[in-house]
Amino acid sequence: MQESWIMYEMDNLLNVFLVVGARPNFMKMAPLYFELKRNKVFNPVVVHTGQHYDYEMSQAFFEDLDLPKPHYFLGVGSGTHAQQTAKIMIEFEKVLLKEKPDLVVVFGDVNSTLACSITAKKLLIPVAHIEAGLRSFDNTMPEEINRKVTDAVSNLLFTPSKDGNKNLIKEGVNHRKVYFVGNIMIDSLTTILKKIDKSYEDKILQKFDLQRKSYTLITLHRPSNVDNKGSLEKILDFLNSLSQNIPVIFPIHPRTKKNIDEFGIKFVFNREFNIVESLRYKEFITLERNAKFVLTDSGGVQEETTYLNIPCLTLRPNTERPITIIEGTNQLVTLEDLEGKVKLILSENWKVGRVPELWDGKTAERVVKKILRY
Ligand code: UD1
């Protein structure tokens, strides 16, 4: 455990510990950090478990989101689920025993979310879960287990959409603990969009040799897609042939990259199939906003494309974010029907979505009001 050089005040303020670990947590935490800071009652303390540790997966996001260096960095790194979860719990418990915060806030559905909610709860520290109530109803996804356990122990459950409230009530959660506050990731998205002007867009499109609305952006990292050699090979083969019709840009996740190397997958990639390192937040949003369509298995990307009204194909059998399908631009696809769906998009036959309720950039304000009342 490493304590950073940043000093924080502990006197007379409510100490709220914000726990993050993996890339999608950072943009959910940033708006809440700034909103708590603005409100003079709170002292927000950032704890980074170190689940993601590469510069591009972690520090670059802190920089793009204008976040300070974490107050605590637990440095747990990678491992099996049990190893990673256990290491986080051991290190986080030490911090909690020393600091005794008033509230621990966890985000999303990663292993850090699960580990820290349980650890805090067992020390009788109240827990708030941001992005509560989402369910894929697929227990083979590690994230589904993380969501269910975290929601079961949390004192405050903040949902991004009303389906979240329904799921929680059905599971027997007391409705007084559940608050529909909207999607906090959209707070970060609206903030970064203000910082992306035309000249920055031109620069990024030029950097990757792309033209507005005439390329596709890919993100794939789910174990179900990339942890199996056969499925990963099929996906890459599809993308390679897709790039003959439309340029493909594929910022590669460390898990996917590692698997391509370990499986010894060798491809002669077309010139228009561009695999690049993980992108910074600002770069990624720029490419997402200007893409013809996006193919993904990420949760956050389904939401961002809905907000940006960009067609999104999700290569998964289910989603914990059904609102992106019902109201947004998202659709689930299999490898078999991908080609047909791509044709529909390229011939301009895709649905136009709408922005879901309370995805308005003001979710952090609503969360802080509820925390104050609590
Ligand atoms: C994790 C989350 C997933 C989320 C994703 C976003 C869990 C169970 N999964 O998946 O829900 O969508 O983050 O990115 O919490 N690695 C690096 N550098 C890093 C981080 C990881 O090289 O900075 C490599 C390691 O070899 C590691 C592998 O990627 O074994 C996977 O990392 P891990 O944190 O276990 O899960 P993700 O697949 O990133």
pLDDT tens digits, 335-360: 999 999 999 999 999 999 999 999 99
Residue 180 predicted with pLDDT over 60:
yes
> In angstroms, how far is the first alpha carbon of the chain from the final one?
31
256 lines ligand 1 (CB under 6 A): no
Average pLDDT over residues 200-209: 98
Active-site hit among 48, 71, 129, 221: 221
Ligand 1 within 6 A of CB of 78: yes
Query: Would the pLDDT of 138 be above 70?
Result: yes
Q: Give 175's DSSP letter.
A: G
Determine the number of helices (DSSP H) and then strands (DSSP E) in the chain.
16, 14
- How long is the chain? 374
Measuring from atom 17 of ligand 1, which residue has the nearest CA? 254
For residues 129 and 152, what is the distance between their CA atoms, to the nearest angstrom? 10
**Lowest mean pLDDT: which of 61-65, 93-97, 267-271, 323-327?**
267-271
Question: What is the distance, to the nearest Å, from the Cα of residue 167 to the centroid of all Cα atoms in its chain?
Answer: 20
* Ligand 1 contacts CB of residue 48 (under 6 A): no
Whether 6 has a pLDDT exceeding 50, the answer reads: no
Q: Which of 78, 220, 224, 225 to mutate to test the pocket of ligand 1 (most atoms within 8 A of CB)?
A: 78
226 CA distance to ligand 1 centroid (A)? 12
Return the residue whose CA atom lies nearest to atom 19 of ligand 1.
Answer: 52
Determine the pLDDT at residue 2: 53
Ligand 1 pocket member 162 (CB < 6 A): no
- Closest ligand 1 atom to 222 CA: 38
CA pair distance 242, 269, nearest whole angstrom? 11
**Ordered domains of the chain (ranges, CATH):** 2-182+359-373 (3.40.50.2000), 196-346 (3.40.50.2000)
Q: Of 271, 266, 219, 221, nearest to 247 (Cα)?
A: 271
Instruction: Residue 265: name the closest of 239, 237, 243 by CA.
Output: 237
Q: Is the pLDDT of residue 141 over 90?
A: yes
Task: Indicate if ligand 1 lies below 6 Å from the C-beta of 79.
Answer: no
Closest C-alpha residue for ligand 1 atom 21: 52
Which 3 state secondary structure label does DSSP give 248?
strand
Choice from 26, 48, 51 to test ligand 1 binding pocket (greatest atom count within 8 A of CB)? 51
Residues in a beta bridge with 47: 19, 72
Enter the pTM of the model: 0.96
pLDDT (average), residues 302-316: 98
Predicted local distance difference test score (pLDDT) of residue 267: 79
Number of Cβ within 10 Å of residue 57's Cβ equals: 16
Across the range 212-232, mean pLDDT stands at 97
Residue nearest to atom 20 of ligand 1 (CA): 52
User: What's the confidence (pLDDT) of residue 314?
Assistant: 98
| 221 is a catalytic site residue | yes
Tell me the per-residue pLDDT of 243-291, one tens digit each, with 9 for 90 and over: 999 999 999 999 999 999 999 998 788 999 999 999 999 999 999 999 9
Consecutive H or E run containing 251:
strand 248-251
